[in-house]
């Protein structure tokens, strides 16, 4: 009996210690230093405990073909999601990426970026190829679990379009026109009713910023995200929390994404993205 009690005591102690470690790992908002020596804000990637079933970390360039994957290549986050079909995401730690797809009846979205949104982030990018993607876009989510789910504003999916073959503005409510970094954008808002999201099947808003002309291939550009956040807010469209692990399926990531839906033919889109914010 004494040996059994002793084993039971050590087993309970180990479980208590493990629980304390998990709770400590799930505390967001820590300040860290990245591989470039700069301070990093937002939750630590190692905190994504509840997403570990499909979150991976790679030290080198990687290729993804499965239906759903998120993770990091060194400090660079990626998302790769599809509901069918054949797509491949290739990326490395320097932000080089390419997405290849085959024609068919499915939806795909994926690309590199960060596992949290930051309203003060400036995103640099260059697109090298575009074989007919529905969108190449800065793409992300905000989510506030304290808001009622009956309010679509509790969950927001946002797009800052740079290239597209499908025009989303025809289905949206116009917001305003503004200029950012010399580019004229128009904003739109639409509603998705009971559709897949980072928080299971939900009803949520989509915010769009669409430039007057598409960005050219082979040139360096930047997106000043704060300008878009302000333009949306000017119309009463607020993004909820972009820096949390509260959603059920994914963190509130922000990526340079390639999206294709029901592609009629095979294609490839490629480029590079980087953080162009002032350090």
pLDDT in the model for residue 45: 60
Catalytic choice (129, 157, 184, 216): 157
Below-50 pLDDT ranges, the chain? 1-40
Is 34 in a helix, a strand, or coil? coil
Residues in the chain, overall count: 279
Residue 74 annotated in active site: no
Reference 110, options 89, 135, 133, 134; nearest CA is 89
Half-sphere exposure of 71 (CA within 13 A, CB side): 22
pLDDT in the model for residue 47: 65
pLDDT in the model for residue 91: 97
Rounded to an integer, what distance in angstroms lies between the CA atom of residue 264 and that of residue 258?
16
For residue range 114-159, list pLDDT tens digits in order: 999 999 999 999 999 999 999 999 999 999 999 999 999 999 999 9
Classify the C-alpha dihedral 73-253-273-108 as positive or negative. Answer: positive
Is 90 in a helix, a strand, or coil? strand
Residue 194 annotated in active site: no
pLDDT in the model for residue 10: 34
- Every domain of the chain and the residues it spans: 51-275
CATH architecture of the domain with range 51-275: Sandwich (2.60)
pLDDT in the model for residue 52: 74
Quote the distance between the C-alpha of residue 198 and its chain's center.
9
Catalytic choice (2, 74, 194, 259): 259
Strands 55-58 and 68-73: parallel
């Amino acid at each position: 009996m004494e040996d059994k009690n002793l084993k039971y005591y050590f087993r309970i102690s180990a479980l208590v210690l493990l629980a304390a470690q998990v709770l400590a790992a799930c505390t967001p908002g820590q300040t860290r230093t990245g591989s470039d020596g700069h301070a990093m804000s937002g939750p630590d990637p190692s905190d994504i405990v509840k997403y570990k079933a499909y979150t991976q970390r790679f030290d080198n360039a990687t290729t993804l073909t499965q239906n759903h994957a998120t993770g990091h290549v060194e400090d660079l986050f990626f998302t790769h999601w599809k509901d069918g079909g054949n797509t491949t995401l290739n990326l490395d730690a320097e932000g080089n990426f390419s997405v290849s797809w085959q024609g068919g009846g499915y939806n795909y979205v994926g690309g590199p970026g960060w596992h949290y949104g930051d309203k003060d982030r400036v995103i640099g990018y260059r697109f090298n190829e575009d074989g007919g993607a529905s969108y190449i876009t800065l793409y992300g989510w905000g989510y506030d679990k304290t808001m009622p789910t009956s309010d679509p504003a509790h969950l927001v999916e946002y797009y800052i379009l740079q290239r597209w073959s499908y025009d989303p503005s025809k289905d949206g409510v116009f917001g305003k026109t503004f200029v950012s970094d010399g580019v004229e954008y128009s904003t739109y808002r639409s509603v998705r009713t009971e559709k897949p999201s980072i928080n299971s099947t939900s009803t949520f808003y989509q915010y769009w910023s669409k430039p007057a002309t598409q960005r050219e291939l082979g040139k360096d550009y930047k997106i000043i995200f704060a300008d878009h956040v302000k333009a949306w807010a000017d119309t009463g469209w607020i993004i909820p929390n972009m820096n949390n692990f509260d959603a059920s399926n994914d963190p509130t990531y922000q990526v340079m994404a390639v999206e294709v839906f029901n592609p009629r033919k095979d294609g490839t889109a490629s480029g590079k993205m980087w953080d162009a914010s002032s350090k």
